[in-house]
Structure 1
Amino acid sequence: MEDVVAKYVSQKVRKTRWRPVSATALQAPEVFATGSWDNEENKVSFWSVGDFGGLSSNAEYHGEPHLLCDIQHNGDVMDMEFLDSERIVAASSTGSVTIFRHHQNNQTLSVNQKWENAHYYDPSGGNAPCTGVICNSPEIFTVGEDGRINVFTADRKEAVRTIDNADSSTLHAVTCLRTTEILTVNSIGQLKVWDFRQQGNEPSQIFSITGERIPLHCVDRHPSQQHIVATGGQDGMLSIWDVRQGSMPVSLLNAHEAELWEVHFHPSNPDHLFTCSEDGSLWHWDASNDVSERKPFLHTGGRSTTFLAHSGINQSVISAWLSSDPTKDRMEITNLFSNPTLSVNSLDVLGSCLVYGTDAECIYVKKNLFA
């Protein structure tokens, strides 16, 4: 585990996000942001794992992540997303949405734009937490406990568009499907697709898991095949969906023992997927072509060791995640981290580097993911 470094930060970490790098950049990501929660004073912080102390670029990280700058954040940080390489958008439990700008010349953070009452239960001031944010520059989409969807742009004080009663239940997370479409997940186990080319305030598609209405906490879209979506639920299940067909998930995968807080496809290697949970674990799901040649689909997580066969695994040219033949191949799951007493709240992956944050007031950076 020498390729993992930890930093105690004296704050519970709710979100971790790598600063985006150019698609043509060869160097590993160096800067990431964190947002805290459940502290007397919460912060958005920027960190570097770059070349400090004269280490060569090929050296292991010998030191901890280095704090570049931080700024006070009003309320818990519920979600964060980079708008570009200089600006990050933070969603607050107070219902506000703030864009912070990172000034790299003097390593400071400042408020670039703020929407105070983006989410609220009633106009008289009953603010509702803003639970999710996704950026598709120049647009910023936010969702909240109030069932509201907002569309903002950084240069406007008012929302570009608001759907006030988009959902009668809490919206927990949001992702972009295409330029004009977003997908939300809610507290009764539904996925809804919203097409902003349409004038109405109704979703264009609704998906759900039959049976119990288990809340869905997180969602991520496959980076190159936009019809493939992964969600994580309160019951720890990982679900894979194909939004082109049907209304139910393609695969339901037994995963964590408690709430699944975050799911991310690897942005450039999407046969790899990562999940983290309230049960203190962080899993790497590997559906790449060579898995069956290396080892069987064996997971070393908190549950008893099992071989899982299901409808999501096959090295089809269409996708490793969408096959109807479970016998063709198996997928490997590895538990990259285990602290059964405290939650792993957030993760982000870029290149060969993974960053994650916990309620143990620690942030971790793992490099050489595929070594």
Structure 2
Amino acid sequence: MKDIYAKFVSQKISKTRWRPLPSGSLQTAEIFATGSWDNEENSVLLWLVGDAGNVDSDGGLEREHQILCDIGHHGDVMDLQFLDQERIVTASSTGSVTIFLHHQKDQTLSVSHQWTAAHCHSGPGSLSYSSAPCTGIVCNSPEIVTVGEDGRINLFRADHKEAVRTIDNADSSTLHAVTFLRTPEILTVNSIGQLKIWDFRQPGNEPSQILSLTGDRVPLHCVDRHPNQQHVVATGGQDGMLSIWDVRLGTMPVSLLKAHEAEMWEVRFHPSDPDHLFTCSEDGSLWHWNASANVPEKSSLFHQGGRNSTFFSHSLSGQANANQPLLSSWLSTDPAKDRIEITSLLSNNILPVNSMDVSGSCLVCGTDAEAIYVTRQLFS
């Protein structure tokens, strides 16, 4: 893989996301969004990818990444997701959830809708409240699910002014992230190491299933679902460990993999090649995990700076039915298949990598070093 190109943007970047490509498109991702945090004035920006760092046929450098448009954002951008190709949804530290509309003709962003008090702490009286950060969102157009520090879950629809469903006291601890398992079911992770599955078809306010890490209640910060196998889930948290879960089996993770030296902020399966997974951390690292069958056996010593190594997962659960083949390489309990190749994608970076996203052979990440990093040659 060629070097990731860095562009300094004078903002701490909290979230980065590629704009989704049209269904069936063979195009390469070209537009991504970023959100900032911990700045005097935060903002949401749309970028057009350049070929910076490459030499053109005339011997000069290609164009840099360009800002298409930007708009101010009240509070830190805690999460950011594309609802569709024209709309972006953000979660704010102020508790609000905002839909921004991208006007492609004149390259501007405008507020399409906002739920100003989506998350809040109730005061002593029913009329008083204080804002609580909205910590995570997931979109399946037109539906938007949000979670927050207040332990609340909201189900919004882009065409509704009010929430379609709210579970006020879904959790007594902070909910950090959320993902869809399937259309009516979501999965949340919280600050005491629990995964909870919620079914919006059910009328009550109780989860349909609870899974948890054993031992210490290590906060979980991020979650992603396997794109093809909805029962396979990856999580990461405060201890930097990568956990792989099969939500059909028991209540504990199938495997724990020693990963980063500090908090893992995001985990992401590759959307079209899920044997590849990506994680980023407070310790400044960005890792590419390869669990495909063709990973060769190598030394288990890990080297920084883009060299490869092989890690071995530690299986925690033998609950899989021996008569049922495990189709996902992430659920393998065969020691001969438990090799996972890890590549460090950022060398000499020490400030936190807060967010990353992958589309095809393209990767983008954002850091506290006020930089975004992009490569369009992830597998070359």
TM range (shorter): over 0.9
Q: Equivalent residues in 2 for 1:76-155 (5 A)? A: 76-122=76-122, 123-155=127-159
Q: Equivalent residues in 2 for 1:26-65 (5 A)? A: 26-50=26-50, 62-65=62-65
**Counterpart Cα distance in 2 of 1:60 and 1:251:** 48
CA change 1:307–1:81 in 2 (3 A) is closer
Assess if the C-alpha contact under 8 Å between 1:299 and 1:335 holds in 2. Answer: no
CA change 1:301–1:198 in 2 (3 A) is farther
Q: Percent identity?
A: 71
The one-letter amino acid of 1:325's match is D
Q: Alpha-carbon deviations, 1:139-166, whole Å to 9, x = none?
A: 1000000000000011111100000000
Question: Structure 2: 5+ residue runs without aligned partners?
Answer: 317-324
Instruction: Say whether residues 1:323 and 2:294 are aligned partners.
Output: no
**Counterpart Cα distance in 1 of 2:220 and 2:60:** 37
CA change 1:172–1:126 in 2 (3 A) is same
Q: Equivalent residues in 2 for 1:205-216 (5 A)? A: 205-216=209-220
Instruction: Say whether residues 1:355 and 2:364 are aligned partners.
Output: yes
Q: Alpha-carbon deviations, 1:296-337, whole Å to 9, x = none?
A: 6664349x977424339xxx6611100111223511001101
Assess if the C-alpha contact under 8 Å between 1:152 and 1:160 holds in 2. Answer: yes
Structure 1's consecutive aligned runs of 4 or more residues displaced over 6 angstroms after TM superposition are none
**Counterpart Cα distance in 2 of 1:154 and 1:309:** 41
CA change 1:166–1:30 in 2 (3 A) is same
Assess if the C-alpha contact under 8 Å between 2:135 and 2:148 holds in 1. Answer: yes
RMSD of equivalent CA atoms? 2.3
What is the TM-score normalised by the length of structure 1?
A: 0.93
Counterpart in 1 of 2:69? 69
Assess if the C-alpha contact under 8 Å between 2:187 and 2:198 holds in 1. Answer: yes
Instruction: Say whether residues 1:259 and 2:268 are aligned partners.
Output: no
Counterpart in 2 of 1:176? 180
Of the candidates 240, 253, 256, which is equivalent to residue 249 of structure 1? 253
SS of 1:79 mapped into structure 2: strand
The one-letter amino acid of 1:261's match is W
Of the candidates 327, 350, 353, which is equivalent to residue 341 of structure 1? 350
Of the candidates 151, 165, 169, which is equivalent to residue 165 of structure 1? 169
The one-letter amino acid of 1:41's match is E
SS of 1:288 mapped into structure 2: coil
**Counterpart Cα distance in 2 of 1:296 and 1:305:** 6
In the TM superposition, residue 167 of structure 1 has moved relative to its aligned partner by: 0.1
Assess if the C-alpha contact under 8 Å between 1:3 and 1:367 holds in 2. Answer: no
**Counterpart Cα distance in 1 of 2:60 and 2:128:** 54
**Counterpart Cα distance in 2 of 1:223 and 1:61:** 37
Aligned residue-pair number: 363
Of the candidates 298, 303, 306, which is equivalent to residue 300 of structure 1? 303
The one-letter amino acid of 1:174's match is V
**Counterpart Cα distance in 2 of 1:286 and 1:164:** 39
Q: Alpha-carbon deviations, 1:6-59, whole Å to 9, x = none?
A: 21110000000000002421121000000000000000000001579xx99xx9
